[in-house]
Structure 1
Amino acid sequence: MILRNFLSINLLCWAQFSFAQAPPEPGRERYSMDAHWRFALGHPFDTNQDFTNGTSYFSYFAKAGYGDGAASSTFDDRAWRQLDLPHDWAVELPFDSTAQHSHGYKATGRNFPATSVGWYRKTFTIPATDLGRQLALEFDGVYRNSKVWVNGHYLGTEPSGYNSFRYDITDYLNYGGRNVVAVRADATMPEGWFYEGAGIYRHVWLTKTNPVHVAPNGTWVTARVAATTADVTARVNLLNDGKKTQTCAVTQTILDAQGRVVASKKQEAVSLSPFQPREIALQLLVADAILWNLEAPYLYTLRTTVVVSNQEVDRYDTPFGIRTIRFDAKEGFFLNGKPVKLKGTNNHQDHAGVGTALPDELQYFRIKALKAMGSNAYRCSHHPPTPELLAACDQLGMLVIDENRLMGTNYQMQEDLRDMILRDRNHPSIISWSIGNEEWGIENSVIGARIATTMQAYVHSLDSTRLCTAGISGGFRSGISDVVEVMGYNYLGNGDVDAHHRRFPEQPGMGTEEGSTFATRGEYATDARKHYAAAYDQKPRPSFYSIEEGWRFYAERPYLAGMFIWTGFDYRGEATPYLWPSVTSYFGMMDLCGFPKDNVYYLRSWWSQQPTLHLLPHWNWPGREGQPIAVWAYSNCDEVELFLNKKSLGKQAVPRNSHVAWNVNYAPGTLEAYGYKNGRQTLHEVVKTTDQAAVIQLTPHKAALKADGQDLAVVTVAVADRGNLTVPTANEQITFSVTGPAKIIGVGNGDPTSLEKEKFVEDIQKVAIQGLQETPVSGLAEGVAARRQNQSAAWQPAFVKRDYKNLAAAYRHQGSFELPADFVNAQVTFFYNSIGKEQYLYINGQELATDLKQSAEGNVIRLAPSLLKPGHNTIEIVATPLTKEHDWDVVNTNPGTIQVLTPAAPWKRKTFNGLAQVLIQTTKEPGTVTLTATAKGLKTATLKLKAEKAAARPAVL
């Protein structure tokens, strides 16, 4: 079954190398592709609304290089919206009561075809000097069912929204010229049962290498630790994408955190056949090894250097950590030989204001918030995470369960599992691979046992250093529960954990999900009408346990490695126990913004050594004078004494892993608590009745920002009284503006029933020219005169029956377009594409352009409001025709698109129970960033932040 002394070892890494390094690595360059994309919504089945993709005679599945419509390199996307990645278009959409409850009622899915498909396009240049190198596009994640083209060449489809994937584009590029990548994402069909966003919500990269190079995710570092020495095995998978055999030398060098060499070894004369990977393994000894741990997560770097003909052709850096891990069936989990109780949380990738498109700094913000609560473990629920999350866990000291998305053993599912493990197995933070979660259809069957057994064997063919787990909730009786290496108990109420352990005494176990309590931050009376759940820790249902009950159960059993609470943060969707208009969950220890609910302080009391004393609820209860109110204290003190307006209400001993409580008849004033340790007063907590809201307070999570275009300030917005006490019942509308080198990217407040916007972006309507007709004329002059005199003509559909061997000298064209009634508040631009060698343009009979020469790039013409009218507008074009040299040549027949751009509304958000949040992201310019917050009847607040000069990521702009 399970070996108690199963040897689990070390590890770690981040992507492939850090962007903190200023110069590009020799032979290898990696560039961000996040900037300057164009975006537009498409359609899952209406090809006209999907930019005619897949409608040409030779579509992309028929012939190479025939990507059509928006996939074509010649497609005109100038009228599309401009944006940077990561991007989640779902979070920008309105809420709709008919949308999916599980996905937070955002208007995506089968009932919303017009907002469920998105197109992205980016134009970039590749230097001529790159010819002869290998170039690849790397996507950290696209939600979902993405198709990718480069220069009209179809590259492939990735069904999952969570897998990282790459395409070699070496042979498809225009070296020294213009290139276009197009991505179509289809979020019509969900993949999970929680909010998942939509679009390119993770980073995109361009990697350039020599034909002889380290394979993608091609290193694996393991270590055996004895006393103070680590015996490191450094494996590297090499590729030769050239056309002939090459001989290279490989050097593996271990650098400490200061960049000093601590070990190095070289292998000469490595023969590499074309397109045949070869693995090289070298042993290196690290004396006085510093072990990675939770308090001091020390990272080394493995530098792999490849040399051909005395020239370095590749350098590949792999951050890693040296540590040992072990799950024990009787004593729990061990890190570096010491017992560690897992104090974990489950989390989705979702945050207020940005949805699933989290900037990197937000990953660090969230992990720091969990660590401050005392948490030491993170379960990726229920899919592989973004690489930056794992980097944050590595660097901050957070243990991780890395989870597979879909349980199964067919080829595609094994490939997905393989890609996850190869990408992530160097991270020291990862302690277990989760092969599934709550697979009710197979959990208690022999089929489930077979699948789990096969998956575990497959995992160990790729990583022999970690055990597998799975979250089981359909009873702990048979099937997967019998064979999984580390039993994952999802909720105590679903079975008898102790009985299962007695049945399988050699099987380690942990609580992969526990709690699922309902709590609304700052609310202390359950109100079913308002969809508010009191923030006291209560059993969510008769068969489920409270956070306190769950932790006491796991804390009291040494054989259980620990537990993972459902969840660390609220997330969109699964708004149990309510339906519309609740749009986020109630499970989090923190809300969607990361503001702590009261359970955070319970956990901090017993999960950390930080002295803690916290009182709940707030003390603003007008109209309840004299009525009893439950007052709780969370503390790790020995005793707590409570006072109301200086009168003692009694001292109570604090039971271990529990709390103390009083019933207090409400009177406005001051509620105070004193905490005692070993008989001495050590802590003091005060909760006061506040005055009315008077001022706005702005507090950033850090004072200085990096002007790198990536860094972020998470700003807490609080409404306070004149004494600067946060008013816990204040729900005020705040308007925000920012000046200087930064932009607002999202707002939130943690209210699970709020239907306010989190994004304020410009609205773009793309108006097509319809019903284009033509008639031949003897020349431009005649056509212009005929148009001026409004002469009648024998009109016929434009371009349909043209004889390109017998063209007229010129053609008159007429068509129309429809403008919305409110276009006067918008900016209207005509992105014109030449349909002639020379042309004259008129709108509603008024001259727009004269003697306009053919332009391959097209023309951008701003349309004055005086030219236009709501509803029906006419357009006329007189042009000398484009010609064909060959019958199969394609000439442009689309005169372009009219863009109606309505500027974004001012950023605003109500506070919820006194708090809101603003996310501010820097540009690449240093300077002073000023955030201003205003509200009716409140004193305006101004926050100034310094954006300091910093190196930006190497990027393809």
Structure 2
Amino acid sequence: MKISILKIFASLFIIIVCHAFTSSAQISVEKRREHILIDTSWRFAFGHPYDTKKDYQNGTGYFSYLAKTGYGDGAADPAFDDRTWRKLNLPHDCAVEQPFNEKASFSHGFKAVGRNFPDASVGWYRKSVFIPASDLGRKISIAFDGVFRNSIVWVNGNYLGTEPSGYLGFEYDITDYLNYGGENVIAVRADVTMEEGWFYEGAGIYRHAWLNKTNALHVIPNGTFVRSNLSANKAIVTASVTLKNDALVSAKFNIQQDVLDATGKVVASQTLSNLDLKVLEEKEFTLDIPLENPQLWDLENPYLYSLSTTVIKNGQIADLYKTPFGIRTIRFDAENGFFLNGKRVEIKGTNNHQDHAGVGVALPDELQYFRISKLKEMGSNAYRCSHNPPTVELLEVCDKLGMLVIDENRLMGINDQHLNDVKRLIVRDRNHPSIISWSIGNEEWNIEGNITGARIASTMQAFVKTIDTTRAVTAAISGGIGNGISTVIDLLGYNYVATKNTDEQHQKFPKQFSWGTEEGSTVATRGIYVDNRDKNELAAYDVRQNANFLSLEDGWKHYASRPYLAGMFIWTGFDYRGEPTPFGWPSVLSYFGMLDLCGFPKDSAWFLKSWWSDQPTLHLLPHWNWKGKEGKPIEVWAYSNCDEVELFLNKKSLGKKPMEKNGHLSWTVNYSPGVLEAVGFKNGKKISDVVKTTSDPKSVSVKQENIEVTKSDIAVLTVNVNDALGNLVPTANNEINFEITGPAEIIGVGNGNPTSLEKDQFLEEIGIVGISNLKEKTISHLEDVSELSTDVNGWVDAFKEDRNQEFGKKTKSLIYRGDFELPEWNDQTKITFFYKSIGKEQSIYINGKKIADKISADKKGNIFVLDRSVIKPGKNTIAILATPLLKVNSWDVINSDPGAFQVLKPALAWKRKLFNGFAQVIVQKAGEKGDVYISATSPGLKSANFKIKL
């Protein structure tokens, strides 16, 4: 046998690569595990929760997909024609695209989805993937990181399953359903009619989707668990891996576990030999790996190792599975709080939901870096996933940037579904060093203070410990303490201590760990300094919301003065959609954040930065634009960690004051335009902050925010306006128009305004118009046009008679007539007819004008872009003259749907009003290389033309 030089080099390359994962360079490799992102080229359209006609007749067949395997019908049928549907890429949030409506859900930000809006509450997604014939014999699955909500998935018409939760990822084995060497159709139906939480949750496939391929002997999904024990300068890394043998014969194999440092160098290894698994057997294997002089993961240096698991069978590598992990110790102490690597760390955390301005919950991965970096700038070191499992990417960012995490379960309960959901969360996330606690629940008011809650919490806590004993279990309590869940939970989470006596609880339960899972809950509008409840505006001074909540400052003082409390989590880090307490419509965002929905800081962020970081900080509020209030008193505050601060107005001292620890300073100043300056001293060093009276806006300015990744596919742009001297105008609310050129696109805009009802996204609009009242009549031949415009009274409903061979003997030609209703359009509107053959040969007429002449049946269908002279707004008629399609077998299904009309309106230009000086634009790379520019214009202002770095 002759072997080409190319094949020899390829074999040598494989051996060299394998050497990085195994000690033997003689071991060859079976087909590698593949983790393939399938986010691109999906089709999307809205269905309907109860009107089957609007839901593409899904589930209406004689045999449903629940009755017989492979009977997915309607949009779940692989033969379904989705050409009229919108093309898009994942992640996708179809809720954020919808308008605001006063009749929509208060808690979900008044977006027009949900029970009151059935036409926008079921989203269908379809995609075709090619599977090579060479993949036969491998295990293949599809995985979704998150679909909101109540998703149903089919592949090639085969029902795979239903996932009720919008937050848990799920994976289905599709090995035996596939068409190897051909196309395979994935269909997903998501239904958001019913809400899962009480905050904005989005809709659709809003996280990544994957195609996973492995050999028959493989590591199961999330099948590794890495933990470590430290002693002196040595760590024992305990590595567990669960393998499954999906072959129909038993398997013998070895497992090699390699620890790789951050550069990819193998620094420790161990091997398990002579192992076996029976047919379809699944089993966990564990070994200890000594590691000398380990580098620890901590907040300042979040060092990450990785575990490379190599499964070797018959001298070949059957599977390679890589697991990032960190080595660190964590410990809670009932008297002294939390310890990381033996050092007490005061928890300075924030609660956060998962949405962002412009994009809703469909966050590009790099946006997680932006958000976590903004929280770290504020001095925060901990993040609570409120109140649901987060994206994998969020946890990866927390691992890499150094942010501690409470990973939270969505719903308490003890049946198999509840406990299995908890298990899926923990098994997915347990290798992340950032996670320090599992939360089993939040504010379960109906049970948290009674024996039922105590029993449920005890069971769930015990169950969690069967999966992971390395982390504490917490639950957040907002009601009374001293009974129910608060008596049995290992790590008590206080939600709002204004109504609780933590000292009394600590004395009563001296061995219980505790921290503040929610505190502060102050409400403020960024850049507003006078309450105006008629406009739903709240001043950004730190004051108590009401008697049930402490101010931010008083809350922090409570926790900072009690070492037994490990720290606290502010409600919230970022504003979020929904829960616009204390208002309703037209407020659509919360007011709780230290940062607004875009990440622009409110003044309270500087209070936290003053006492949560060692960085010298001084911040003045409010702005100094108070035209019409000359001579009237203005409350001036300074947030600072300086030893003392002196305030000057137009260079005149208004007094020097010492700074109280964990406090702030205030002065009452009679307004005079000019310059207000604060000067502080920290350890003898001078720092200052200045606010100036500005003139009218003169120019638009664009700045690109830093994202801590090597190469980002997105850009976050801050937009503001400046006066003639270049000063940012903090009160500006100009509308800015945006235009982008180059290989990128705008994917969202925002400004943090809680009452803004502007569009988040400007997208093309697609309407789908079907054909109704389809009738038929026999004609003599295909050229017989005598019935094109006659009355259809007396015609029969189309396809009422079975298209068997007997029908073909008596009927040589037919005319079909139907109606379709077109909306008004403009010059940019494109109307396309996507035709599906209903005859062996056919001619098509619209409003009596021929658009196709004797075309043969085409399984792929035909596309006709319609000229305006053929169609009109309102009622139109279509006639199809055809020779009938006939069944060969009695069970054959003959197409009876002639297709639909797509009405496409191009997207409007992107724009957004500034809110108190700021707006945000999120840009995403479109794939090709080339320079990307954005122009930002506003009438009467000098425009900005900015080159984006991507």
Scaled by the length of structure 1, the TM-score of the pair is: 0.95
* C-alpha distance 301-658 of structure 1, shift in aligned 2 (>3 A): same
Partner of residue 760 from structure 1, selected from 759, 762, 772 = 762
Q: Displacement of 1:27 after TM fit? A: 2.1
Partner of residue 715 from structure 2, selected from 713, 723, 735 = 713
Per the alignment, residue 697 of structure 1 pairs with: 701
Per the alignment, residue 242 of structure 1 pairs with: 247
Partner of residue 815 from structure 1, selected from 815, 818, 830 = 818
* C-alpha distance 705-892 of structure 1, shift in aligned 2 (>3 A): farther
Q: Does 1:516 align with 2:515?
A: no
Per the alignment, residue 692 of structure 2 pairs with: 688
Q: Within 2, Cα distance between the matches of 1:749 and 1:736?
A: 14
1:765-804 matches, within 5 Å, as: 765-781=767-783, 783=784, 785-787=785-787, 795-804=795-804
* CA deviation string 1:905-944 (max 9, x = no partner): 1111100001000000002112111111111111111111
Q: Retained in 1: the 8 A contact 2:740–2:746?
A: yes
Partner of residue 848 from structure 2, selected from 845, 849, 861 = 845
* C-alpha distance 440-68 of structure 1, shift in aligned 2 (>3 A): same
Q: Which residue type is aligned with residue 661 of structure 2?
A: R
Per the alignment, residue 14 of structure 1 pairs with: none
Q: SS of the residue aligned with 2:399?
A: helix
Q: Does 1:584 align with 2:589?
A: yes
* C-alpha distance 886-726 of structure 1, shift in aligned 2 (>3 A): same
Q: Retained in 1: the 8 A contact 2:366–2:707?
A: no
* C-alpha distance 180-642 of structure 1, shift in aligned 2 (>3 A): same
Q: SS of the residue aligned with 1:394?
A: helix
1:896-907 matches, within 5 Å, as: 896-907=899-910
Per the alignment, residue 726 of structure 2 pairs with: 724
Per the alignment, residue 629 of structure 1 pairs with: 634
Per the alignment, residue 492 of structure 1 pairs with: 497
Q: Within 2, Cα distance between the matches of 1:780 and 1:757?
A: 51
* CA deviation string 1:662-697 (max 9, x = no partner): 00000000001111124x342021110011011111
Q: SS of the residue aligned with 1:601?
A: helix
Q: Which residue type is aligned with residue 839 of structure 2?
A: G
Q: Within 1, Cα distance between the matches of 2:489 and 2:48?
A: 42
Q: Does 1:932 align with 2:935?
A: yes
Q: Within 1, Cα distance between the matches of 2:249 and 2:98?
A: 52
Partner of residue 191 from structure 1, selected from 181, 188, 196 = 196
Q: Which residue type is aligned with residue 786 of structure 1?
A: S
Q: Within 2, Cα distance between the matches of 1:281 and 1:788?
A: 77
Q: Displacement of 1:866 after TM fit? A: 1.2
Partner of residue 343 from structure 1, selected from 348, 354, 357 = 348
Per the alignment, residue 66 of structure 1 pairs with: 71
After superposition, the CA RMSD in angstroms is 1.5
Q: Does 1:743 align with 2:741?
A: no
Q: Displacement of 1:778 after TM fit? A: 2.9
Q: Retained in 1: the 8 A contact 2:715–2:949?
A: no
Q: Displacement of 1:802 after TM fit? A: 4.2
Q: Which residue type is aligned with residue 775 of structure 1?
A: K
Q: Within 1, Cα distance between the matches of 2:48 and 2:132?
A: 35
Q: SS of the residue aligned with 2:293?
A: coil
Q: Retained in 2: the 8 A contact 1:25–1:315?
A: no
Q: Does 1:829 align with 2:826?
A: no
* Unaligned residue ranges in structure 2 (runs of 5+): 1-20, 22-28
Q: Which residue type is aligned with residue 715 of structure 2?
A: A
Q: Retained in 1: the 8 A contact 2:370–2:707?
A: no
Q: Which residue type is aligned with residue 705 of structure 2?
A: H
* C-alpha distance 25-37 of structure 1, shift in aligned 2 (>3 A): farther
* C-alpha distance 799-232 of structure 1, shift in aligned 2 (>3 A): same
Q: Retained in 1: the 8 A contact 2:437–2:473?
A: yes
Q: Displacement of 1:736 after TM fit? A: 0.7
Q: Within 1, Cα distance between the matches of 2:609 and 2:788?
A: 80
Q: Which residue type is aligned with residue 771 of structure 2?
A: I
Q: SS of the residue aligned with 1:271?
A: strand
Q: Displacement of 1:809 after TM fit? A: 1.5
Per the alignment, residue 806 of structure 1 pairs with: 807
Q: Within 2, Cα distance between the matches of 1:342 and 1:618?
A: 31
* C-alpha distance 793-382 of structure 1, shift in aligned 2 (>3 A): closer
Q: Which residue type is aligned with residue 748 of structure 1?
A: G
* CA deviation string 1:575-599 (max 9, x = no partner): 0011111110000000000000001
Q: Within 1, Cα distance between the matches of 2:596 and 2:319?
A: 45
Q: Which residue type is aligned with residue 798 of structure 1?
A: A
Q: Retained in 1: the 8 A contact 2:803–2:885?
A: no
* C-alpha distance 703-461 of structure 1, shift in aligned 2 (>3 A): closer
Q: Which residue type is aligned with residue 923 of structure 1?
A: A
Q: Which residue type is aligned with residue 915 of structure 2?
A: F
* C-alpha distance 380-68 of structure 1, shift in aligned 2 (>3 A): same
Q: SS of the residue aligned with 1:101?
A: coil
Per the alignment, residue 451 of structure 2 pairs with: 446
* CA deviation string 1:231-272 (max 9, x = no partner): 010000000111111111110000000011110111111101
* Unaligned residue ranges in structure 1 (runs of 5+): 1-20, 948-957
Q: Displacement of 1:703 after TM fit? A: 8.8
* CA deviation string 1:768-821 (max 9, x = no partner): 01111111223223x3x4357869895211111245223211111111100012
Q: SS of the residue aligned with 1:450?
A: helix
Q: Within 1, Cα distance between the matches of 2:745 and 2:504?
A: 56
Q: Does 1:294 align with 2:283?
A: no
Per the alignment, residue 549 of structure 1 pairs with: 554
Per the alignment, residue 288 of structure 2 pairs with: 283
Per the alignment, residue 17 of structure 1 pairs with: none
Q: Within 1, Cα distance between the matches of 2:353 and 2:31?
A: 37
Q: Does 1:85 align with 2:90?
A: yes
* C-alpha distance 647-789 of structure 1, shift in aligned 2 (>3 A): closer
Q: Does 1:110 align with 2:115?
A: yes
Q: Which has the higher contact order (CA 8 A, sep 6+)?
A: 1
Partner of residue 383 from structure 1, selected from 383, 388, 392 = 388
Q: Retained in 2: the 8 A contact 1:292–1:322?
A: yes
Q: Retained in 2: the 8 A contact 1:54–1:68?
A: yes
Q: SS of the residue aligned with 1:461?
A: helix
Q: Within 1, Cα distance between the matches of 2:865 and 2:847?
A: 15
What count of residue pairs does the alignment treat as equivalent? 920
* CA deviation string 1:812-845 (max 9, x = no partner): 1111100012365411000100111111111111
Q: Retained in 1: the 8 A contact 2:31–2:215?
A: no
Per the alignment, residue 944 of structure 2 pairs with: 941
Partner of residue 893 from structure 1, selected from 893, 896, 903 = 896
Per the alignment, residue 953 of structure 1 pairs with: none
Partner of residue 406 from structure 1, selected from 408, 411, 426 = 411
Q: Retained in 1: the 8 A contact 2:47–2:124?
A: yes
Q: Identity across aligned pairs (percent)?
A: 59
Q: Retained in 1: the 8 A contact 2:108–2:200?
A: yes
* CA deviation string 1:324-349 (max 9, x = no partner): 00000000000000000000000000
Q: Which residue type is aligned with residue 212 of structure 1?
A: L
Per the alignment, residue 863 of structure 2 pairs with: 860
Q: SS of the residue aligned with 1:889?
A: coil
Q: SS of the residue aligned with 1:780?
A: coil
Partner of residue 42 from structure 1, selected from 34, 47, 52 = 47
Q: Retained in 2: the 8 A contact 1:705–1:713?
A: no
Q: Retained in 2: the 8 A contact 1:520–1:752?
A: yes
Q: Within 2, Cα distance between the matches of 1:754 and 1:270?
A: 62
Per the alignment, residue 574 of structure 1 pairs with: 579
Q: Displacement of 1:851 after TM fit? A: 1.9
* C-alpha distance 591-740 of structure 1, shift in aligned 2 (>3 A): same
Q: SS of the residue aligned with 2:455?
A: helix
Q: Retained in 1: the 8 A contact 2:788–2:879?
A: no
Q: Which residue type is aligned with residue 683 of structure 1?
A: I
Partner of residue 176 from structure 1, selected from 172, 178, 181 = 181
